[in-house]
Structure 1
Amino acid sequence: MENKFEVSTLILRVILGITFFVHGYVKFSGGIENTVGWFASIGLPGSLAYVVAIIELVGGLALIIGLGSKVVSALLGIIMIGAIIKGKLAAGFLGNGTGAGWELDLALLAMAVVIVINGSKLLSVDKLLFNKKQDSVSENI
Structure 2
Amino acid sequence: MQTVEKCIEETQNGHFSRDPLKRIDEPILRSSLNKIHTVTELQRAEVLLNGGAGLDDGERDLWAHALTRTDVWILCGPDTASMRFGYAVEKRDRLVSLESLLKKLGHTPSGALPDHYKQRWLDDTMSKLAIGIL
Q: Could you say which structure has the greater relative contact order, defined with CA pairs below 8 angstroms and 6 or more residues apart?
A: 1
TM-score by length of 1: 0.30
Which has a greater percent of helix?
Answer: 1
TM-score by length of 2: 0.31
**Rg larger for:** 1
